[in-house]
Amino acid sequence: MGTKTAIARLDGDGLRFTATTGSGHQIVMDNVEGDSGPRPAELLVVAQAGCTAMDVISILRKKRQAVTSYEVRVEGEQRTDTHPHVFERMTVTHLVEGDVEVDAVRRAIELSATRYCTATANLSAGIVEIHHGFLIRDAKGSEHRGEVVVTGPNEQPEVLGTRGVLAAV
């Protein structure tokens, strides 16, 4: 079993904290008043983006896909009427440019969402419903969009297959 650690130390009179990870990296966190770093809840969204991005680009490289540009956008919807302000839904969109196969991108996202991404697994084990999709701009200038899989709540993945394709322009 692997153990991850972090120590958060108060830095000043407000709510600014400097967290040091077990690997020695530091992250400054703050609230809206101090605004000197991201809010802790934002780091959950960052973790989701980073985790799936690393999975998907690794898989696409192994499949020898010619990716020229890649980014992941995550939008998280939080409940704000009651405490704690939990995330109820996240939308993860992989933006891929290059000479890539739609099926290769779809499979890479599916593998990340259902097998490899630690952030997805932890968030979808709770009440968060996570929608995983893509927008591909291929070498010919065409765009392909689709939703691949929905994970959570409580780890109930629904792989959408080809019916998740929203548009091919």
Task: Give me the average pLDDT of each 10-residue run along the chain (169 residues).
Answer: 95 96 97 96 98 98 98 96 95 97 97 97 94 94 94 74 47
Contact (Cβ atoms closer than 8 angstroms) between residue 160 and residue 140: no
CATH of the domain at 14: 2.20.25
Question: Is 46 found in the same domain as 29?
Answer: no
Q: Are 57 and 6 in the same domain?
A: no
* Sole residue written with tokens 């704690």: 84
Structure confidence at residue 168 (pLDDT): 39
Of 57, 39, 50, nearest in space to 119 by CA:
50
Q: What is the pLDDT of residue 6?
A: 97
Residues 123 and 59 in one domain: yes
Q: Looking at the structure, tell me whether residues 52 and 31 fall in a common domain.
A: no
Given CA atoms 31, 36, 40, 46 in this order, what sign does their dihedral have? positive
For residues 33 and 48, state if they share a domain. no
Torsion of CA 80, 130, 123, 119, to 10 degrees: -130
Same structural domain, 23 and 85: no
Q: Which pLDDT score is estimated for 167?
A: 41
Contact 92, 48 (CB under 8 A): yes
Q: Are residues 32 and 66 in the same domain?
A: no
Helices 102-111 and 40-62: crossing angle, nearest 10°?
130
Res 139: pLDDT: 81
C-alpha distances (whole Å) from 122 to each of 9, 15, 68, 113 are 25, 26, 30, 11
Regarding whether 44 and 32 lie in a shared domain, the answer is no
Structural domain boundaries enclosing 110: 40-168
Residue 69 sits in the same domain as residue 119: yes
Do 106 and 67 lie in a common domain? yes
